[in-house]
Structure 1
Amino acid sequence: MSTIANKKILPPLTFTEPHLFAGYGTHSTATQPPFEKLEVFGEKVASPSHLLNELEATAISGNDILSSVFYVSGLCTIQAGKLAPLCLLLVALVLYLFRGIYAETVTALPCNGGTYNILLNCTSKQFASLAACFAIIAYITTGVVSALTAIAYLKTILPWLPLETSTIFLLVIFFLLTNYGISESASVAKTIFVAHVFTLLFLCFFGVLFMLCHTDQLRENFDSPFPRVNVAGEHLDGTWLTAIFYGFSSAMLGVSGFETSSQFVEEQQPGVFEKTLKNMWTGVMLFNPLLSLISFSALPIDTIVKNKDTVLAGTAEVIGHWVKKKLHFPEHWEVGGALSLWVSVDAFIVLAGAVLTSFVGINGLIRRMAMDRCLPQVLLLKNPYTHTDSVILSLFLFLCVSQVVLLDCDVEALGGVYCYAFLSVMCIFAFGNMILKVKRPSLPRIHHVSWSSSLLGFVSVAVALMGSVLGKPQLLTYFLVYFICIGTLMVVMFNRVNILRVVLFILRELGAEESPSIFAAPTRSPHLASLSESTTLLSTPTPPSTPSRPSRRSSLLTLITRKISAVRDVPFVFFAKHDDLYVINKAVLYVMKNEQTSRLIVVHVGSKDGGEEGRNLMEHIRIIDLLYPKVKVSLLMVEGEFGAGMVGWLSKEMGVPLNAMFISCPDKDFKMKIQELRGMRIITY
Structure 2
Amino acid sequence: MSRQSTASKESDKEFVELQWISVEPPRHDTTRRDDSSNPPSFRDSQFATILRRQRQRPADNSGVKHSPAIPSRFLNLTNSFEFAGWGSITRLKLSNEDHLAGAARIDHMQKSRVLGQFTASALAGNAVLGSVFYALPAVVAVGGIYSPISLFIATMVLFLWRPIMEELASALPISGAPYTYILNVSTKSFALIGAALLLLDFASTAIVSAATAASYLAGDVPLLPFPPWVGAVIVLLLFTVISLIGVRESARLALTVLSFHVLTMIVLAIVSFVHWAHIGNSQLKANWHLGRSQGSSLNSVARQIYYGICLGMLGLTGFECIPSYISRIKPGRFPKVLRNLHVPAILLNTTMMLLVLAMVPLDTILGGANVLSVLAQESGGVWLRIWIVVDAIIVLCGGVLTGILSACELLDQLALHRVIPQLFLKLLPKTGSPYVSVLSFVAFSGVLYASSGASLTIVSQMFSLVWLTVMALFPVSLLLLKFNRGRLPRGRKTRLVVLGLALATVPVVWAGNVAYEPRTAGYFAIYFIAIVAFFSATQNKVHLLRCVYWVYDQYPSLHKWRATQACDRKLINFMTSLKRQPVCILVRTDEINSLFHMVLYVQKNEETSYLKIIHFYDQEKEVPSELEANAKILDEAFPEITIDLILVDGFFEPINVAALSHNLGIPQSLMFMTCPGEHFAHDFAEIGTRIISL
Match of 1:26 in 2: 88
Query: In the alignment, is the contact (CA less than 8 A) between 1:41 and 1:649 conserved in 2?
Result: no
Partner residue of 2:307 out of 246, 267, 271: 246
One-letter code aligned to 2:510: L
2:682 aligned residue (648, 667, 672):
672
1:578 & 1:454 partners in 2: Cα distance? Answer: 35
1:223 match: secondary structure: helix
Match of 1:115 in 2: 178
Q: Give the distance between the partners of 2:606 and 2:255, measured in 1 at CA.
A: 41
Decide whether aligned partners of structure 1 residues 21 and 281 sit closer, same or farther in structure 2, where only a CA change above 3 A counts.
Answer: same
- Aligned position for 2:257: 192
Pairwise CA distance, 1:385: 10
Q: Match of 1:624, as an amino acid?
A: L
Deviation at 1:408, TM superposition (A): 4.7
Contact 2:123–2:401, Cα closer than 8 Å, also in 1: no
| Higher RCO (C-alpha 8 Å, min separation 6) | 1
1:129 partnered with 2:138: no
Contact 1:610 1:637 in 2 (8 A): no
Q: Which residue of 2 aligns with 1:627?
A: 637
Separation in 1, partners of 2:559, 2:431: 43
Aligned residue number for residue 344 of structure 2: 283
C-alpha distance 580-156 of structure 1, shift in aligned 2 (>3 A):
same
Q: 1:580 to 1:210 in 2, by over 3 A?
A: farther
Give the structure 2 partner of residue 518 of structure 1. none
Residues in 1 aligned to 2:579 and 2:640: alpha-carbon distance in whole angstroms: 10
Residue aligning to 1:266? 327
Please tell me the residue identity of whatever aligns with 1:626: E
| CA distances 1:183-219 after superposition (whole Å, capped 9, x unpaired) | 7523222222222112112222333343344312112
Kept in 1, the 8 Å contact 2:247–2:405? The answer is: no
Residue pairs, 1:6-21, within 5 angstroms: 12-13=66-67, 16-17=78-79, 19-21=81-83
Do structure 1's residue 447 and structure 2's residue 501 form an aligned pair? no
2:659 paired with 1:649: yes
Distance change (3 Å), C-alpha of 1:223 and 1:350 = same
Deviation for aligned residue 1:344: 1.3
1:409/1:554 Cα in 2 relative to 1: closer, same or farther (>3 Å)? closer
Q: Quickly say closer, same or farther: Cα 1:469–1:592, change in 2 above 3 A.
A: same
Supply the AA of the counterpart residue of 1:70: F
- 2:394 is paired with a residue whose SS is helix
- Map 1:83-482 onto structure 2 (within 5 A): 83-155=146-218, 158-161=221-224, 162-179=227-244, 184-213=249-278, 214-225=280-291, 239-307=300-368, 310-320=370-380, 336-376=381-421, 379=424, 389-482=434-527
* 2:694 is equivalent to residue 681 of structure 1: no
Partner of 2:36: none
Tell me by how many angstroms 1:352 deviates: 0.7
CA distance in 1, matches of 2:565, 2:259: 65
490, 513, 527: which one pairs with 2:535?
490
Determine which structure has more spread, i.e. the larger CA radius of gyration.
2
Q: Unaligned stretches of 5+ in structure 2? A: 1-48, 58-63, 73-77
Deviation, structure 1 residue 426: 0.4
| Residues 401-433 of structure 1: per-residue CA shift (max 9 Å, x gap) | 344444455444322110111111001222111
Equivalent of residue 575 in structure 1, options 586, 589, 614: 586
In structure 1, the partner of 2:624 is 614
Q: Is contact 2:311–2:513 with CA below 8 Å preserved after alignment?
A: yes
1:75 matched residue in structure 2: 138
Going from structure 1 to structure 2, the CA distance change for 1:83 and 1:207 (only over 3 Å counts) comes to: same
Cα distance in 2, alignment partners of residues 639 and 405 from structure 1: 56
- Structure 1 stretch 613-622 or stretch 476-485: which is displaced more? 476-485
Identity of aligned residues (%): 28
Aligned residue in 1 for 2:20 = none
CA RMSD of aligned residues (A): 3.0
The letter for the 1-side match of 2:287 is N
* Alpha carbons of structure 1 residues 96 and 588: separation in structure 2 relative to 1, 3 Å: same
C-alpha separation between the residues in 2 aligned to 1:342 and 1:597? 57
Deviations along 1:615-647, one digit per CA (max 9) or x if unpaired, are 311111111111001111111111111111011
- Does structure 2 conserve the Cα–Cα contact (< 8 Å) formed by 1:227 and 1:237? no
Moved more, 666-675 or 622-631: 666-675
Q: Which residue of 1 aligns with 2:575?
A: 564
Q: TM-score, normalised by structure 1?
A: 0.85
Equivalent AA in structure 1 for residue 604 of structure 2: K
Deviates most, 634-643 or 471-480: 471-480
Residue identity matched to 2:253: V
CA 1:3–1:371: 2 relative to 1, 3 Å: same
Letter in 1 for 2:600: L
| Residue 4 of structure 1, CA deviation | 2.1
| CA positional deviation for 1:507 | 2.0
- Given that 2:558 and 2:564 are in contact with CA atoms closer than 8 Å, whether structure 1 keeps it comes out as no
CA contact (8 A) 1:602 1:635 kept: yes
Letter paired with 1:499: L
CA offset digits 1:267-302 (Å, max 9, x no partner): 111110111011111111111111111111111222
Q: Residues 211, 463 of structure 1: CA spacing in aligned structure 2 closer, same or farther, 3 A cutoff? A: farther
Cα distance in 1 for residues equivalent to 2:634 and 2:458? 54
CA distance in 2, matches of 1:11, 1:143: 51
Q: 1:4 aligns with which of 34, 46, 52?
A: 52
Alpha-carbon distance in structure 1 between the residues aligned to 2:678 and 2:277? 56
Q: CA deviation at 1:78?
A: 0.9
Q: Amino acid of the residue matched to residue 53 of structure 2?
A: A
CA gap of 1:180–1:511, structure 2 versus 1, over 3 A, is farther
Q: How many corresponding residue pairs? A: 627
* Conserved? CA contact 1:142–1:358, under 8 Å: yes
TM, length-normalised to structure 2: 0.84
1:40 paired to 2:40: no
| Residue aligning to 1:662 | 672
Question: What's the counterpart of residue 600 of structure 1?
Answer: 611
What's 1:333 paired with?
none
Partner Cα distance (1:640, 1:25) in 2: 22
Cα gap change, 1:373 to 1:226, in 2 (>3 Å): farther
**Partner SS state of residue 593, structure 2:** helix
Structure 1: 5+ residue runs without aligned partners?
230-235, 321-335, 516-549
Contact 1:45/1:648, CA 8 A, preserved across alignment:
no
Q: 3-state DSSP class of the match of 1:61?
A: helix
